[in-house]
Chains A and B, each alone.
Chain A
Amino acid sequence: MEAKRLTGALSDPGASAWAQAAVEHVALSSAPLADQPSRYARSSWADRRYGLVRDLRIQAAHDGESFYLRLEWSSPTREARDAQENPFSHPLEGPDAFPDSVAVMFPSNGDAQLETKGCEGAPVEIWRWAEGMPEVVEDLLATGLGTLRPADGGSGLWARSGAKGSRWQVVFGRPLACEQDTPPRLAPGASTLMAFAVWTGANQERAGIKSYSQRWLDLALER
């Protein structure tokens, strides 16, 4: 897909500027149980449905200064809640409560494997958003399953979210000119790969219990 050079309030997931951006739908499927690192997860989720979200709506853009990635999906968690409820007031303190969450993954180089979330020498960069008060925005690195850790600071990653009915709308943003040139290289004319994951909090999805895109999606930034 192409991230066109656009103008407007692209940091706002509800902004009309997003109507100019092409829409891509990415099919998601349940992450393989065989890849779960623990016997416990493989055993206890064998008879539980997970990876409930199957479709992720994606748009990308840049304005010459920042890169924007807008993600939208219908959340079974939100469907289950009171539609009138303030989407940002739901308590998530309970020991059995998990947030709805979305993540996008970029390979640092061509060797990074999607299935294993990278490996030694070929890390992946992961941007994660999770609902909550406050909501969580994380810039992470991984070099294999179970290795997620905070990325070195400095990428300037942020996220803004909104909700419409049962749908979450999340915009990730990052300055194009990154001080430390942290992968992914997001500059006009550059291209990278992306993969996605969504967690449905109401179904206690977390960690490797998630929906994910099985293939990399090409992303090119318009000059």
Chain B
Amino acid sequence: MSTQEQAKLEHQLAMVFDLNKCIGCQTCSVACKVLWTREEGMEHQWWATVNTQPGRGTPKDWEQMGGGERGGVPVPGHLPSREEFGGGWEYDLDRLFYGGKGSAETLRPANGSPQWGPNWDEDQGAGEYPNAYYFYLPRICNHCTNPVCVEACPRGAMYKRPEDGIVVRDEDRCRGYRFCMEACPYKKIYYNHVRNVGQQCIFCLPRIEQGVAPACARQCPSRLVFVGYLDDESGPIHRLVNEWKVALPLHPEYGTAPNVFYVPPLSPHRLAPDGSIDTSAPRIPVEYLERLFGSRVGAALDKLKAEIEGVRGGGSSEMLDTLIAYQWHSLFGGFTTDPAELVRAEPANGGE
């Protein structure tokens, strides 16, 4: 996308995930799956995923697959295979429950032997007892300010909506060439072989247009997903990203300027061999977090710790109040409409 086209953007929608609150319950993943990716050809598509870090993620080892830009030059990317995505398993529940084989029949996929999946290395993490560590990392399309997927398409089938910066695709123009998938360094674009098109998170734009927050955000039971316009100075996104600088992009070195940001995880202290608390280093190595969130992660963690100390000392913190989200609706940057209250149009085919 040219600078001129970027300048046409009126606003940019963004999200902040507070990783200190993520419990890895996958409710966001399932909320998205149920809403968007249930059709044939979308079996292995999970537009929202939550992976345990450190880990190999989904698709497997996606951080080693290239894509993005370095110094303004596109980096060749790898097109993930079905095996690297994994998942899409089908189960013969009739055979399991009614096949008459009792406990001799076990729950197993009917289509092959799984070797990887969208959450394969859950809770493995890293480190040795008693200093093992892990945290959860939810991921969706980053709706990047420099969307290399858009540039990579030889047909101009993808674009950023000028009103909100959501990256969308004209499926009538898409011919399934998948240069977008190759170019995306986050590997958050999927291929639908039935329709021969690429597909990815659309920031729940039909909901956004009705004032409803995206499903992953609204369904999150931990109140950790903030939604809003990056330039809304009164909203939580702007304050967390630009004012308090505690929300950081994932892999900023990929060069795409993501619009999904993360409050990095604090961690407990390490335990010394004698069982005493070792305050010299956090359980999660800062070097590891820097690899994920860049060089500003130390400052963000220091800011979080300072605010927490301030409150423990009897003070107050607007930043912590924001992150706690006492009011559920405060997460959603004005997109607070209850989808159950919307008047739904009848399907054109009468719902048949």
Interface of A toward B, CB cutoff 8 Å: 36-41, 43-44, 47, 92-96, 145-148, 204, 206-208
CB-CB under 8 A from B181, the residues of chain A are 95
Q: How many A-B residue pairs have CB under 8 A?
A: 68
CB-CB under 8 A from A93, the residues of chain B are 82, 193
Contacts beyond the supplied A36-B154, A94-B81, A95-B181: 10 A-B pairs with Cβ under 8 Å: A37-B155, A38-B153, A39-B151, A41-B152, A47-B76, A95-B81, A95-B82, A96-B80, A146-B154, A146-B156
Q: A95 and B154: CB pair below 8 A?
A: no
- Nearest residue, chain A, Cβ from B153: A38
Complex: how many Å from CA A92 to CA B191?
A: 11
Q: A92 and B193: CB pair below 8 A?
A: yes
Max chain B C-beta neighbours (<10 A), residue from A40, A43, A204, A206: A40
With A38-B154, A95-B181 known as contacts, the answer to whether A43 contacts B193 (CB < 8 A) is no
Max chain A C-beta neighbours (<10 A), residue from B77, B148, B181, B183: B183
- Nearest residue, chain B, Cβ from A208: B154
Judged by a CB distance under 8 angstroms, whether B136 is at the interface is no
CB-CB under 8 A from A96, the residues of chain B are 79-82
Judged by a CB distance under 8 angstroms, whether B179 is at the interface is yes
CB-CB under 8 A from A38, the residues of chain B are 151-154, 179
CB-CB under 8 A from B298, the residues of chain A are none
- Nearest residue, chain B, Cβ from A47: B76
- Nearest residue, chain A, Cβ from B178: A95
Cβ-neighbour of B85 out of A37, A95, A146, A204 (below 8 A): A95
Judged by a CB distance under 8 angstroms, whether B190 is at the interface is yes
Distance of A77 from chain B, by nearest CB (Å)? 16
Cβ-neighbour of A40 out of B79, B148, B175 (below 8 A): B148
Complex: how many Å from CA A118 to CA B81?
A: 35
Complex: how many Å from CA A94 to CA B43?
A: 12
Complex: how many Å from CA A93 to CA B152?
A: 22
Complex: how many Å from CA A206 to CA B79?
A: 13
Q: B82 and A43: CB pair below 8 A?
A: no
CB-CB under 8 A from B178, the residues of chain A are 95, 206
Complex: how many Å from CA A147 to CA B153?
A: 12
Cβ-neighbour of B154 out of A41, A43, A92 (below 8 A): A41
Judged by a CB distance under 8 angstroms, whether B182 is at the interface is yes
Q: A95 and B80: CB pair below 8 A?
A: yes
With A41-B154, A95-B190 known as contacts, the answer to whether A148 contacts B175 (CB < 8 A) is yes
Q: A44 and B154: CB pair below 8 A?
A: no
Complex: how many Å from CA A39 to CA B74?
A: 7
Judged by a CB distance under 8 angstroms, whether B328 is at the interface is no
CB-CB under 8 A from B80, the residues of chain A are 95-96
A-B complex: 7 closest residue pairs judged by Cβ atoms: A40-B152, A44-B76, A95-B191, A93-B193, A43-B74, A96-B79, A94-B82
Complex: how many Å from CA A146 to CA B174?
A: 10
Residues of B82-114 contacting chain A, CB below 8 A: 82, 85
Cβ-neighbour of A37 out of B75, B154, B175 (below 8 A): B154
Distance of A109 from chain B, by nearest CB (Å)? 24
Q: A207 and B175: CB pair below 8 A?
A: yes
Residues of B163-214 contacting chain A, CB below 8 A: 175, 177-179, 181-183, 190-191, 193
Cβ-neighbour of A207 out of B79, B151, B177, B190 (below 8 A): B177
Judged by a CB distance under 8 angstroms, whether B7 is at the interface is no
Q: A207 and B76: CB pair below 8 A?
A: no
